[in-house]
């Protein structure tokens, strides 16, 4: 393990602002990680990514192990050089991607068919660690089992214990000294199983701790309940990461319960359909209302898109099916969420977090929320067709 420097800069209740240092740079929390599942943030170049304020990027072991394969990435000098990204990176273990597939789970690992070409594939703690060490991200994640929402308690109990054994094997197989290793707490939606998993995983000991198995259809209230009886059992002196969560209301409630790190794909996925986030709520740039709107997406945003282009221009790009519109919208969404997290950090430091939290729910009420997708790898890269307009009467 790599016990990297970590400090708590400020607290407001359970919410906290922290700083830690990784081989490729210092990061400050609370933070959101853009998702580069296939070794790229979809539609956004590294040049644009650097301008968004991104501190740390996520890539996926499952997908990269299949294509192009970890041997090619290693030969290229590791994921940072392969992607031409000089910032901290985290690789997921592949456990979440596998759970939704037809598979056979044994004590040794998981056998499944890769959904792209049907190739029979086996993934185990040792195999996941081998791939991640060759990819060379700053943080690797242990291999775990994420159970589906609605799974029975008997299976969930067996899964929690198997996950603990898999995470112990992950730690034993992980030998790269310049790469941190995070454990993952599972346990479905049962308080006793979450506490059991947290005790097992913290007893093994890791550089950071993630809460997995959420954002699988349970809703914000249930997610918050699970966090309420999980996070207090995680070490105070290490980072805490809530996996696959990224709506504004999810982020602020996670931080309110002591979470430091998040990742999600909504910022780029929603951008590809013209949905952008602002300080006054979501906008859909394909709406006819923006045809003659020469304001930026958000007048308070400092991103490249808002500094340079109008809503009218972006509306035009989506209208004609120009892929640049998706790129510019994605650049804005990523940058806006980083600015959102920066403001949240400031509110923790100056004691105004509860006001920030209330304002977030006012602007982004749960009843108006869109579903949170978990992975970029399950969607084709095709450009969306231009929207059709209704004729005026």
Which residues have C-beta within 8 Å of that of residue 268, sequence separation ≥ 6? 34, 35, 41, 42, 43, 44, 330, 333, 334, 376
Residues 90-146 have pLDDT tens digits of 999 877 777 777 889 999 999 988 877 888 889 999 999 999 999 999 999 999 998
Catalytic residues: 92, 263
Residues 34-85 have pLDDT tens digits of 999 999 999 999 999 999 999 999 999 989 999 999 999 999 999 999 999 9
Cross-strand bridge partners of residue 27: 20
pLDDT, residue 71, reads 98
pLDDT, residue 147, reads 87
- Above 70 in pLDDT, residue 367? yes
Cβ 214 vs Cβ 226: under 8 Å: yes
Residues 164-205 have pLDDT tens digits of 999 999 999 999 999 999 999 999 999 999 999 999 999 999
Give percent of the chain above pLDDT 90.
84
What six digits make up the tokens of 73?
Answer: 């990435």
Give the C-alpha separation, 374 to 354, whole Å: 28
- Above 50 in pLDDT, residue 380? no
Average of pLDDT values for 200-226? 95
How many CB atoms lie under 10 A from the CB of residue 375? Answer: 19
The CATH number that domain 15-269 falls under is 3.20.20.105
Give percent of the chain above pLDDT 70.
93
Residues 272-294 have pLDDT tens digits of 999 999 999 999 999 999 999 99
Residues 12-30 have pLDDT tens digits of 999 999 999 999 999 999 9
Give the C-alpha separation, 112 to 123, whole Å: 8
Specify the pTM.
0.92
Return the domain boundaries, the chain: 15-269, 277-365
Cross-strand bridge partners of residue 162: none
């Amino acid at each position: 393990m790599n016990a990297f420097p970590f400090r708590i800069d400020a607290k407001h209740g359970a919410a906290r602002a922290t700083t830690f240092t990784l081989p490729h740079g210092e990061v400050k929390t609370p933070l959101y990680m853009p998702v580069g599942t296939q070794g790229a943030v979809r539609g956004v170049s590294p040049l644009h990514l650097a301008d968004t304020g991104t501190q740390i990027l996520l890539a996926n072991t499952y997908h990269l192990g299949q294509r192009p394969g970890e041997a090619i990435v290693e030969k290229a000098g590791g994921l940072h050089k392969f992607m031409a990204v000089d910032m901290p990176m985290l690789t997921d273990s592949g456990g979440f991607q596998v759970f939704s597939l037809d598979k056979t789970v044994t004590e040794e690992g998981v056998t499944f068919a890769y959904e792209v070409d049907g190739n029979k594939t086996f993934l185990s703690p040792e195999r996941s660690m081998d791939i991640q060490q060759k990819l060379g991200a700053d943080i690797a994640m242990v291999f775990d089992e994420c159970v589906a929402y609605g799974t029975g308690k008997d299976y969930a109990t067996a899964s929690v214990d198997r996950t603990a054994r898999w995470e112990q094997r992950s730690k034993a197989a992980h030998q790269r000294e310049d790469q941190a290793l995070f454990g993952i707490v599972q346990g479905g939606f049962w308080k006793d199983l979450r506490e059991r998993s947290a005790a097992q995983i913290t007893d093994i000991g890791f550089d950071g701790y993630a809460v997995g198995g959420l954002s699988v259809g349970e809703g914000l209230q249930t997610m918050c309940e699970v966090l309420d009886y999980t996070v207090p059992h995680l070490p105070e002196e290490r980072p805490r990461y809530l996996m696959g969560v990224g709506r504004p209301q999810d982020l602020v409630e996670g931080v309110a319960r002591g979470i430091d790190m998040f990742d999600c794909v909504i910022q780029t996925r929603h951008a590809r359909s013209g949905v952008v986030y602002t300080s006054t709520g979501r906008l859909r740039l394909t709406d006819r209302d923006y045809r003659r709107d020469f304001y930026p997406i958000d007048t308070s945003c400092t991103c490249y898109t808002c500094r340079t282009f109008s809503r009218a221009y972006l509306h035009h790009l989506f209208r004609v099916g120009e892929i640049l519109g998706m790129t510019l919208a994605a650049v804005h969404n990523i940058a806006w969420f980083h600015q959102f997290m920066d403001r949240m950090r400031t509110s923790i430091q100056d004691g105004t977090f509860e006001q920030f939290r209330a304002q977030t729910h006012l602007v982004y009420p749960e009843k108006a929320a869109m579903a949170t997708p978990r992975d970029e790898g399950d969607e084709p890269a095709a450009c969306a067709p231009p929207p059709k307009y209704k004729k005026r009467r």
